[in-house]
Amino acid sequence: MRQVFERIVADPDLHWATMNLYYYSEYHGAEGIAALARQVEATNPQLAEALVHHADDEFRHAAMIADIMTDLGDVPRPPLGIKYVDEFAALATASTDPDRIDEVELLAALNVTEKRGLFSFALHVSTLPRESKAFKLLNQVKNEEAGHVRWGNQYLAELKANGREAEVRRAQAKFEVIEKAAYETSLDIMPGAPIRRMRRIVEVARQLPAERQIPYVVEQFFRAADPRPVFGARWQLVETILSSARLREQVSADVQRILAGQPLASDSLLGRLVADARRAVESLWRPQAQAA
């Protein structure tokens, strides 16, 4: 993973695109947390106050990331494709009781997404020049995300100590599956992506009570079957290649090798994409082959 971030940081266009995804997640995540704070204000004012502070942090993080993006050459704009924060929200919301906000589930959901953010920011920061503005700002974001994770861990530990350990463990297990599904879906633009997305949805459904599993899968099927987000993500990849001089050079060199009848290098851009597509197709058909 560190090598991936090293490549990203070395290319301003890729770096901007990555920061654009961060911005979207931080800003829209902050909106979601603020909405949750309003919902629990009447029943749990202490938690509501903590969530308001949390949302303020996330809005500030979005502004700091936007500052870095401006230095990279452009302002934030809505990314194409399936966004991690949106996919997580859709999977998580449908898995919970719409008539009430469960304190345990709310905290477990927040905690698992904060851990993902901390992991990504920590890797990203480790590849930035220490004297750079991007390092200083993103390192501050990383440190504050670590504080959010500690707060969530402590709150969940207190709930366990107060006799709700079984509830906490169930919620953590469910949202870990949901978070993994959302993360993988947000990155998956290879052939067979909709089918793999449905497999992840089924895995999430298995975390629910038996009577809710089939309705959950049916509800999510109609959302996941829409191919437009995947096509949008593929077009964004094309846009990124076209906007990056370094990537254009790599693609040009790969095309010349193809025209000359030479094999693609395994570490070239098109070589990696072809290998990813091959693995995706193989994984798509492997279950049928095994069944036969």
Residue ranges covered by each domain of the chain = 2-232, 246-291
Query: What is the spatial distance between Cα 122 and Cα 71, in angstroms, rounded to a whole number?
Result: 21
Specify the pLDDT at position 179.
Answer: 97
Maximum Cα–Cα distance across the chain: 69
- How far apart (Å, rounded) are the C-alpha atoms in residues 165 and 179? 21
Q: List, for residues 127-175, the tens digit of each pLDDT value.
A: 999 999 999 999 999 999 999 999 999 999 999 999 999 999 999 999 9
CA nearest neighbour of 105 among 163, 151, 30, 159: 159
Amino acid type, 208: L
- What pLDDT is attached to residue 282? 52
Burial of 254 (0-12, 13-18, 19+ CB in 10 A): buried
pLDDT for the residue 248: 60
Distance CA 171, CA 280 (A): 31
**Residues near 284 by Cβ (< 8 Å), separated by ≥ 6?**
191, 192, 195, 196
Tens-digit pLDDT profile for residues 217-230? 988 887 776 666 55
Q: What is the pTM of this model?
A: 0.77
Are 56 and 95 within 8 A, CB to CB?
no
Nearest to 198 by CA among 174, 176, 227: 227
At the top level of CATH, the class of 2-232 is mainly alpha
Q: Mean pLDDT in the chain? A: 84
Q: Looking at residues 196-225, what average pLDDT do you find? A: 88
Q: What is the pLDDT of residue 261?
A: 72
pLDDT at site 246: 62
The percentage of residues in the chain with a pLDDT greater than 70, rounded to a whole number, is 78
Pick the more confident residue, 69 or 264. 69
Q: Find the angle CA(260)-CA(270)-CA(196) to the nearest 5 degrees.
A: 140
